Structure 1
Amino acid sequence: MDDYQNRSYGEIPVGFGARPGIVVVDFQVGFTDPQYPLGGAPLVRRAVENTARLLAVARRAGIPVASCNTAYMSEREMPYWKITAVRETFLHGHPSVALDPRIHDPAYDLVVCKKGPSIFFGTGVSDYFAKERVDTVIVTGCNTSGCIRASAIDSFSHRYRTIVPEDCVGDIEEGPHRDNLRDLGRRYVDVSDLATVLGQIEAWQRQNAA
């Protein structure tokens, strides 16, 4: 046991509730396509493929999905990003801000454009989930150490049970990916995996059919 465990961090699981929703954070081609400065990290590519599998099952089950990109009208509108590639490419009309078609269903998903790290900040996603009676949020997307962490903490702050499947989120480097998931799992979320979440969706379907 490490010192966090000795002090009771991570002792109580969050668990799955009765009504799930899924957020898909920043799977825009600027992050998923290697032709762009921030794009194509191996962990992100893996996460896109796994999230596409998750979403196909979730949509068939009628689970609400909210996706976002990050884009601005100009650098003047932006927060004080310290990332040159964000300032130069995450602009409305630039091809890098389009959602990756592997995870995007425009006929099904709620789509929002966020201006900060969290999909919940100033977007209306929590209002949508309230209408859908969501009590459990499954967080997917990138990057783990940035917008996934922010979105997971906001989900926790909104009093959702929050689940982060490790293989459905990604980052540029493995170290920050693992470190942030470990820290989130100590405090706010259950770190899970695609197979477990798919199994839970099947359980929800059986409960709803009963």
Structure 2
Amino acid sequence: MADQDDYKHRSYGEIPVGTGLKPGIVVVDFQKGFTDAQYPLGGAPLVMRALENTEKLLKVARAYGVPVANCNTAYMNEREMPYWKITAVRDTFRHDHPSVELDPRIYDPDYDLFVCKKGPSIFFETDVASFFTKERVDTVIVTGCNTSGCIRATSIDAFSHRYRTLIPEDCVGDIEEQPHRDNLRDLGRRYVDVVDLQYALTYLEHWHNAKADT
């Protein structure tokens, strides 16, 4: 069996991503299907914790003028969908179903860019990257659910778009804790800095103060 620190010995995770000149935030799939316990996928404790912390982050971000992109996942019908292996997604993630409505605690329709995504990543075939280009964003803070699925895909796409990418651990969630931890550890070895809400808030404050001084 390989040494548990073998990744570290081979230099994984040695170089931090750090922060750049301007932050942007993506909020992935905090729709009622995941945040309301009446739905099959709703109400997982880690997701609800992430929702509460993301609400705190967004309150500060909007006050400081940080660009925010918010998304849900929804389809016209099963024919439009990819080959999801999750019955609840196939049955409920439809445009006319209440489970696809964004949770009002994290969505401001007068401020946020809203996109409806069709795949796991908020960047896949949406306008989020071009929105961030216009806003001159170079650092993306990833929030939402689920860590092992759409958060992972979004984070890899953010990395591929050459953004510095931060994931506040307490602003993302999953159905089970082990996949949440495993995926964050793996992403942190390769592509992103795994931080926490307080780190993200401090970064936004420093950015805001620096902007005010120019």
Does the alignment reach a TM-score above 0.5?
Answer: yes
- Give the percent of matched residue pairs that are identical in Structure 1 and Structure 2: 76
Displacement of 1:65: 0.1
Matches within 5 A, 1:162-181: 162-181=165-184
Equivalent residue for 1:150, pick from 129, 150, 153: 153
Distance across 1 between alignment mates of 2:195 and 2:129 = 22
Q: What is the aligned partner in structure 1 of residue 9 from structure 2? A: 6
How many residues of Structure 1 are paired with residues of Structure 2 in the alignment?
210
1:77-96 equivalence runs, <5 A? 77-96=80-99
Cross-structure match for 1:47 = 50
Q: Distance in 1 between matches of 2:84 and 2:205?
A: 41
Q: Distance in 2 between matches of 1:9 and 1:65?
A: 30
Post-superposition Cα deviations, 1:32-86, rounded to whole Å, max 9, x if no partner, equal 1110000000000000000000000000000000000000000000000000000
Q: Show structure 1 runs of 5+ residues with no match.
A: none
Q: CA deviation at 1:209?
A: 1.0
Q: Does 1:199 align with 2:202?
A: yes
Task: Give the Å deviation of 1:205.
Answer: 1.0
SS of 2:79's equivalent? helix
| Partner of residue 136, structure 2 | 133
The aligned residue for residue 23 of structure 1 is: 26
Alpha-carbon distance in 2 for matches of 1:202, 1:116: 33
TM-score (normalizing by structure 2): 0.98
Structure 2 CA distance, aligned partners of 1:113 and 1:133?
Answer: 22
Letter in 2 for 1:194: L
Matched, 1:98 2:139: no
Question: In 2, Cα distance between the equivalents of 1:78 and 1:196?
Answer: 37
Tell me which amino acid in the other structure corresponds to 1:129: F
For residue 195 of structure 1, report the CA deviation from its aligned partner: 0.4
Give the CA deviation at 1:108.
0.1
CA distance in 2, matches of 1:17, 1:74: 41
User: What's the offset of the Cα at 1:206?
Assistant: 1.1
Tell me the residue number matched to 2:113.
110
| Partner amino acid, structure 1, of 2:82 | P
Letter in 1 for 2:135: E
Stretches (4+) displaced over 6 A: none
| Cα distance in 1 for residues equivalent to 2:84 and 2:138 | 32
Q: Which residue type is aligned with residue 128 of structure 2?
A: V
Q: Report the Cα offset of residue 199 of structure 1.
A: 0.6
* TM-score normalised over the length of structure 1: 0.99
Query: Are residues 1:186 and 2:196 paired?
Result: no
Task: For residue 96 of structure 1, report the CA deviation from its aligned partner.
Answer: 0.1
Match of residue 163 from structure 2: 160
Name 2:69's counterpart in structure 1: 66
- SS of the aligned residue for 1:75 comes to coil
Question: Is 1:34 paired with 2:40?
Answer: no
Paired residue type of 2:35? T
